[in-house]
Amino acid sequence: MTTSLVDESRAGGGAELPPIPDGAVMLTVNIQRFNPETDDAPHMESYRVPAQPGDRLLNVLHYIKWYIDGSLVFRRSCAHGVCGSDAMRINGRNRLACKILVKDLLGSNNKAEVTVEPIKGLPLLKDLIVNMEPFFDAYRAVKPFLIAHGNEPSKERIQSQTDRARFDDTTKCILCAACTTSCPVYWAEDAYVGPAAIVNAHRFIFDSRDDAADDRLEILSDSEGVWRCRTTFNCTDVCPRGIQVTKAIQEVKRALMFRRV
C-alpha cells in the first residue's frame, strides 16, 4: 500500500505500482516542498515508500516522483556519486542521495523515517533545487585552472610523486556544494568564498606545475577569504569524497602566513 498521505488527488501519477519486494520496509519520507508559483513558504510533506535496506535514498526519491507525486523535483545526473548533483540535507546532514543507503538511515532503533531538505545557504528555487550560481561564482573567483608562465614545454609537465601527493586529496572534489552549504559562516555571510572554493584553490596552489599561487593566495587573503573559517569541521564531516577540507583550509592559511607554498 503506497499512497501520498497528504494529497490524494495527486497520488497515483498514472503509473502502475511495481510489486513490493521481499524484505522491504515501509519508509516514511518527509520532504521539504516549495513551488514558487503557488507557495509563500516551504512546507513539509510526507510519503510512505516501500524500500529495501540496500536501496539508495535516490531510489526512494525516484519512487516518489515516478509513482506517487510527479511534481517533486530534485537534481540528479550520474546517480553514482561522481557528478555531485544530488547533494541534499538528509536527516539534517548534507549527503549525496545516491550514496546513502536506506539501512544507514534507519538508525539503531529501526525508526523508518527520513527527512529530506534542500542544502542550506543558497537561494531556494523549487523543492530540493537551489540556485548554485553563487557557489560557482566563488569557485570561479579562485581561478581553478592551471596557470603557467614562461614557455610551454614540448613534452608533458613532469612532476615528482611527492609533489603530486601534496594536493592529491583536493583533486577529489566533485563540486556538490555539500561542504559550503554546511558551513555556518557561509549561512551567515554568503560573500564568504566557502570551503569548496578554497579546496579547489588548494588543488592548484600546491601544484608544482602551477605559477599563480600568489594570485590565488591574494584572493583568499581577502576579508571574505580563508580567515573567515572558524574550523568547525562541518565541511570535513559532510564531504562525500572524504576530503580533509578543514586541513586543506588550514594549509592555505599557513601558506598565506609564511608566504611559502
Partner 1 sequence: MTNPTASSPVGSLPPDLSGAVASTSDASSRGIEAPRAPRRRVRTGSNFEMYSWLFMRLSGIVLVVLVLGHLLIMNVLDGGVHRINWGFVAGRWASPFWQIWDLAMLWLAELHGANGLRVIINDYSRRPGTRFWLQVLLAVSVVLTVGLGSFVIFTFDPSMGS
Q: Which residues contribute to the site for partner 1 (CB under 8 A)?
A: 147-151, 185, 188-189, 211, 214-215, 217-218, 221-223, 225, 227-228, 253, 256-257, 259
Please calculate the CA angle 92-93-96 and round it to the nearest 5 degrees: 125
Residue 242 and residue 185: Cα distance in Å, rounded? Answer: 21
Indicate the residue among 104 and 211 with the shorter CB distance to partner 1: 211
Taking the complex as a whole, the smallest distance from the CB of residue 122 to partner 1 amounts, in Å, to 17
Residue 62 and residue 75: Cα distance in Å, rounded? Answer: 11
Indicate the residue among 26 and 188 with the shorter CB distance to partner 1: 188
Please, which residues bridge with residue 29 across strands? 47, 114
Taking the complex as a whole, the smallest distance from the CB of residue 215 to partner 1 amounts, in Å, to 6
Taking the complex as a whole, the smallest distance from the CB of residue 258 to partner 1 amounts, in Å, to 11
Taking the complex as a whole, the smallest distance from the CB of residue 227 to partner 1 amounts, in Å, to 4
Indicate the residue among 47 and 192 with the shorter CB distance to partner 1: 192
Contact 152, 214 (CB under 8 A): no
Taking the complex as a whole, the smallest distance from the CB of residue 206 to partner 1 amounts, in Å, to 16
Enter the DSSP assignment of 151.
P
Please, which residues bridge with residue 88 across strands? 95
The label of the residue with cell 568564498 reads 193
Taking the complex as a whole, the smallest distance from the CB of residue 136 to partner 1 amounts, in Å, to 23
Residue 97 and residue 76: Cα distance in Å, rounded? Answer: 9
Which residue type does 25 have? Answer: V
Contact 219, 225 (CB under 8 A): yes
Indicate the residue among 66 and 187 with the shorter CB distance to partner 1: 187
Enter the DSSP assignment of 15.
S
Indicate the residue among 68 and 256 with the shorter CB distance to partner 1: 256
CA distances from residue 52 to 21, 68, 70, 79, 157 in whole angstroms, order as listed: 8, 17, 22, 17, 49
Taking the complex as a whole, the smallest distance from the CB of residue 148 to partner 1 amounts, in Å, to 8
Residue 231 and residue 64: Cα distance in Å, rounded? Answer: 38
Indicate the residue among 149 and 260 with the shorter CB distance to partner 1: 149
Indicate the residue among 59 and 180 with the shorter CB distance to partner 1: 180
